[in-house]
């Protein structure tokens, strides 16, 4: 019997996936790409789109082995009790650490850009209270809320059009001047940072009401989201310049401060901050949901909702232990985080597909005998 009784529509799942793709990346993606490829970051971003969609295709193929099971159930079914259990625990650990990281991102951003004199613990507590409240209401309410807030998020992407008069193309010259190893390294970051973190949808996919065109709709929405991310990178390079894009923690936030139409429409960075927090909220909520649901499935509990409140306390502590300050968080964590994303978005799904293929071949051979 399934632990999750709620169901979400295909459109709600796609919106949650789009918010997960962009999420915290809306602010930090330009600096991540510019750090490796410099003025060629926009080219690396374009190369990442087909590779990222191919990664999502791989994850969907693994999820469709049994569309009614989460990655925790699939792992134990295909890989066996011990190996599958180890893979499941690894996924759960990643979900917990990712959720803690996103809460820390909200805390650091708010305390360094908006509420500079506010203690970080206060921002963190407020974020966790809202996350716990939202998750207690259930997956269906989370999906409906994403539909309601999505237009506000889309409005931010449309506001980027107002920056076009400020573009200076000479700031991205010379083109293709980045050494190949650096470009390759940047492409790996650009693929597995935004697209790899969509592995959390393994825990939501079984509870979505899918139809024949669900996969097509997923790819169309992710393609649009990827174009939006790379537009932010391009604007950051051509308006702020490669050096500033690389060394500024939140270049997209600085971009929003540059919007000025007739000295009337200006200082709309608060809108950016609001939309970014909305998208990061839903991304964080999905990761916490994945952790509590997966833990309940692994331990064969009757419900997962009793875990939400204590997990909120756990994340509060983990967020504080994650990094000693924002400098450590920005400079040290990303170097290793991309390996995690690669493992959970590519290595494990590919392993499930390969083992499932050989198990089917073996079963067919036994039947023919």
Structure-model confidence comparison of residues 310 and 116, the more confident one: 310
Please tell me the predicted confidence (pLDDT) of residue 153: 78
* Contact by Cβ (8 Å): 202, 134: no
Please tell me the predicted confidence (pLDDT) of residue 265: 67
Q: CB under 8 Å, gap of 24 or more: what pairs does 260-269 form?
A: 261/162, 265/162, 268/159
3-state secondary structure of 249: coil
How large is the average pLDDT for residues 212-223?
Answer: 85
pTM of full prediction above 0.95: no
Please tell me the predicted confidence (pLDDT) of residue 262: 67
Residue 244 clears pLDDT 80, i.e. is over it: yes
Residue 159 clears pLDDT 80, i.e. is over it: no
The mean predicted confidence, pLDDT, of the chain is: 86
Nearest Cα residue to 288 out of 273, 309, 269, 260: 309
**Span 12-63, pLDDT tens digits:** 888 998 888 887 787 788 888 888 888 888 899 899 999 999 999 999 999 9
Q: How far is the C-alpha of 14 from the C-alpha of 276, rounded, in Å?
A: 18
Please tell me the predicted confidence (pLDDT) of residue 53: 92
CB-count exposure of residue 83 (10 Å: 0-12, 13-18, 19+): middle
Cis peptide bond prior to 174, omega within 30° of 0: yes
Structure-model confidence comparison of residues 24 and 124, the more confident one: 124
Q: How confident is the model at residue 225 (pLDDT cuts 50, 70, 90)?
A: confident
How large is the average pLDDT for residues 240-250?
Answer: 82
How large is the average pLDDT for residues 252-275?
Answer: 75
What radius of gyration, in Å, describes the C-alpha atoms of the chain? 21
* Contact by Cβ (8 Å): 291, 200: no
Please tell me the predicted confidence (pLDDT) of residue 354: 93
Residue 119 clears pLDDT 80, i.e. is over it: yes
**Span 330-346, pLDDT tens digits:** 677 777 888 888 999 99
Q: How confident is the model at residue 1 (pLDDT cuts 50, 70, 90)?
A: very low
**Range among 103-107, 213-217, 258-262 rated most confident:** 103-107
């Amino acid at each position: 019997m399934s632990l999750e009784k709620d169901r979400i529509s295909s459109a709600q799942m796609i919106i949650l996936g789009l918010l997960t793709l962009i999420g915290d990346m809306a602010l930090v993606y330009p600096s991540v790409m510019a750090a490796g490829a410099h003025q060629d970051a926009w080219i690396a971003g374009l190369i990442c789109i087909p590779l990222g969609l191919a990664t999502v295709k791989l994850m969907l193929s693994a999820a469709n082995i049994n569309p009614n099971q989460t990655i925790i159930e699939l792992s134990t079914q295909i890989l066996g009790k011990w190996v599958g259990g180890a893979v499941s625990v690894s996924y759960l650990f990643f979900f917990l650490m990712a959720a803690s990281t996103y809460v820390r991102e909200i805390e650091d951003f708010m305390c360094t850009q908006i509420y500079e004199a506010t203690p970080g613990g206060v921002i963190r507590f407020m974020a966790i209270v809202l996350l716990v409240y939202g998750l207690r209401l259930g997956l269906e309410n989370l999906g409906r809320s994403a539909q309601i807030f999505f237009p506000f998020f889309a409005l931010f992407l449309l506001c980027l059009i107002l920056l076009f008069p400020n573009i200076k193309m000479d700031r991205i010259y010379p083109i293709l001047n980045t050494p190949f190893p650096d470009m390759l390294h940047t492409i790996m970051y650009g693929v597995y940072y935004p697209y790899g973190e969509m592995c959390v949808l393994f825990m939501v996919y079984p509870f979505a009401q899918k139809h024949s065109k669900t996969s097509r709709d997923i790819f169309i929405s992710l393609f649009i989201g990827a174009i939006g991310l790379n537009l932010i990178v391009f604007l950051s390079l051509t308006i702020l310049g490669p050096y500033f894009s690389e060394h500024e923690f939140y270049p997209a936030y600085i971009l929003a401060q540059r919007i000025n139409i007739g000295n009337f429409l200006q200082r709309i960075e608060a809108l950016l901050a609001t939309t970014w927090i909305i998208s990061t909220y839903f991304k964080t909520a999905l990761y916490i949901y994945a952790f509590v649901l997966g833990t309940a499935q692994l331990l064969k509990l009757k419900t997962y909702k009793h875990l939400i409140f204590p997990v909120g306390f756990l994340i509060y502590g983990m967020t504080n232990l994650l990094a000693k300050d924002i400098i450590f968080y920005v400079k040290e964590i990303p170097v290793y985080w991309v390996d995690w994303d690669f493992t959970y978005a590519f290595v494990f799904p590919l392993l499930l597909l390969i083992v499932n293929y050989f198990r089917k071949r073996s079963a067919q051979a036994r039947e023919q005998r």
